[in-house]
């Protein structure tokens, strides 16, 4: 019923949903880095936070807006919306209110933006399922451990073979199937391994092998996300990302090698997502970069102030010639 209610509305924006029924997997951090990466590529980006109780994504955007104002730095900030959840006594009334709020946000941005990045709560809710049913790209951040792997699939302890499908994976499979039935759309599902250990380990190898096997079974693509780095936690209160031009004034300290490595990880992840970034956006980004660079250069006055012409030679009068 929900899909039918939204299928009649033509969408032009590409919808990216961050989803997982496991909290603390890095959904909001990944969502912010994806949004800023698209903004830096010249794309028009809107963001929607469906976790109105915790509001991590909303606070991240607000911190970024405050940092830009406080530091007087031109940071890219998406057009952000936070959809309130229903708090009434009746479930049907709550769902109707949540649907109306989400539909209003989507209708506001679907024709004026290139991408919509949606961050969902870490539990099974009405809004969370609704967002999954609309996803063009679904990104599932997952901590690199079998404790978090459980939402996707079950594993035999002796053979480390995948024996079943987890509850979250079943929900995603149902949402993708319904999407195909309603409008024929396909959802590209990427499972992103976050908090990767900097050194290789037996656990890291086994989790990777299980994700590869389960991906073939469920139709998702595994990808490497962010390593366990303190810098990603430091970015949140400042509203910054690894893709920003970091300096001592913004960070409160000198950038380190960890900041450079984090930026490389983000760029690698964006490449693996294979998002449909158009060429017009790239031209907008190049024009914006050129304009910002021009603000730092002194005004060239050679073409504005003309030199005084040299005084013309005064021809001798006829009387002077006769003297």
**CATH numbers and ranges of domains, the chain:** 2-322 (3.40.50.300)
Closest CA to 243 of 37, 29, 28, 39: 37
Q: Are 162 and 144 in contact (CB under 8 A)?
A: no
Say what the pLDDT of residue 56 is: 96
- Burial of 163 per CB tally in 10 Å (0-12, 13-18, 19+): exposed
Say what the pLDDT of residue 296 is: 56
Residues in contact with 25: Cβ distance below 8 Å, sequence separation at least 6, in sequence order: 122, 140, 141, 142, 143, 148, 194
Say what the pLDDT of residue 298 is: 58
Say what the pLDDT of residue 255 is: 85
Say what the pLDDT of residue 225 is: 92
Distance CA 53, CA 86 (A): 11
Maximum Cα interatomic distance, the chain, rounded to a whole number of Å: 124
Residues in contact with 210: Cβ distance below 8 Å, sequence separation at least 6, in sequence order: 146, 149, 153, 155, 160, 162
Closest CA to 135 of 18, 16, 7: 16
Say what the pLDDT of residue 9 is: 47
Cα Rg, the chain, nearest whole Å: 27
Q: Are 160 and 167 in contact (CB under 8 A)?
A: no
Distance CA 78, CA 38 (A): 10
Distance CA 65, CA 80 (A): 11
What is the signed CA dihedral for 173, 179, 181, 186, rounded to 10 degrees? -90
Residue at token pair 């209610």: 5
Q: Are 132 and 138 in contact (CB under 8 A)?
A: yes
> What are residue 165's phi and psi, to 5 degrees?
-105, 130
**Pairing assessment for the beta strands 162-165 and 153-155 based on DSSP bridges:** antiparallel
Q: Along the 323 residues of the chain, how does pLDDT read in single tens digits?
A: 333 434 444 558 999 999 999 888 899 999 999 999 999 999 999 999 999 889 999 999 999 999 999 989 899 999 999 998 888 888 888 889 999 999 999 999 999 999 999 999 998 888 999 999 999 999 999 998 898 999 999 999 888 899 999 999 999 999 999 888 888 888 999 999 998 876 667 888 899 999 999 999 999 999 999 988 889 999 999 999 999 998 887 887 788 888 999 999 999 999 999 999 877 666 666 666 665 566 555 555 455 455 555 555 555 554 454 44
Residues in contact with 141: Cβ distance below 8 Å, sequence separation at least 6, in sequence order: 18, 20, 25, 26, 27, 30, 192, 194, 225
Q: Are 279 and 287 in contact (CB under 8 A)?
A: no
21 DSSP 8-state letter: S
Per-residue tokens: 19: 């989803």
Distance CA 142, CA 235 (A): 20
């Amino acid at each position: 019923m929900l899909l039918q209610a939204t299928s009649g509305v033509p969408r032009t924006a590409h919808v990216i949903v961050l989803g997982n029924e496991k909290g603390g997997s890095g959904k909001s951090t990944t969502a912010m880095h994806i949004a800023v990466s698209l903004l830096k590529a010249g794309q028009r980006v809107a963001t929607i936070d469906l976790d109105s109780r915790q509001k991590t994504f909303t606070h991240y955007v607000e911190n970024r807006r405050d940092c830009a104002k406080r530091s007087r730095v031109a940071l890219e900030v998406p057009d952000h919306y936070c959809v309130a959840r229903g708090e009434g006594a009746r479930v049907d009334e709550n769902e109707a209110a949540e649907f109306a709020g989400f539909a209003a946000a989507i209708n506001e941005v679907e024709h004026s933006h290139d991408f919509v990045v949606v961050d969902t709560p870490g539990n099974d809710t009405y809004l969370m399922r609704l967002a999954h049913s609309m996803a063009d790209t679904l990104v599932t951040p997952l901590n690199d451990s079998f404790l978090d792997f459980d939402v996707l699939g079950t594993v035999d302890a002796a053979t480390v073979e995948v024996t079943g499908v987890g509850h979250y994976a079943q929900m995603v499979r149902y949402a993708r199937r319904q999407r195909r039935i309603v409008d024929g759309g396909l959802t590209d599902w990427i499972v992103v391994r976050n908090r990767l250990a900097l050194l290789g380990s037996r656990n890291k190898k086994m989790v990777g092998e299980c994700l590869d096997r389960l991906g073939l079974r469920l139709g998702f693509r595994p990808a490497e996300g962010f390593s366990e780095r303190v810098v990603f936690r430091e970015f949140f209160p400042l509203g910054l990302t690894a893709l920003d031009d970091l300096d001592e004034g913004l960070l409160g300290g000198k950038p380190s090698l960890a900041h450079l490595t984090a930026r490389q990880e983000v760029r690698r992840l964006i490449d693996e997502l294979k998002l449909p970034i158009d060429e017009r956006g790239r031209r907008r980004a190049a024009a914006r970069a050129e304009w910002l660079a021009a603000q730092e250069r002194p005004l060239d006055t050679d073409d504005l102030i003309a030199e005084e012409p040299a005084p013309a030679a005064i021809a001798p009068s006829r009387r002077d010639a006769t003297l």
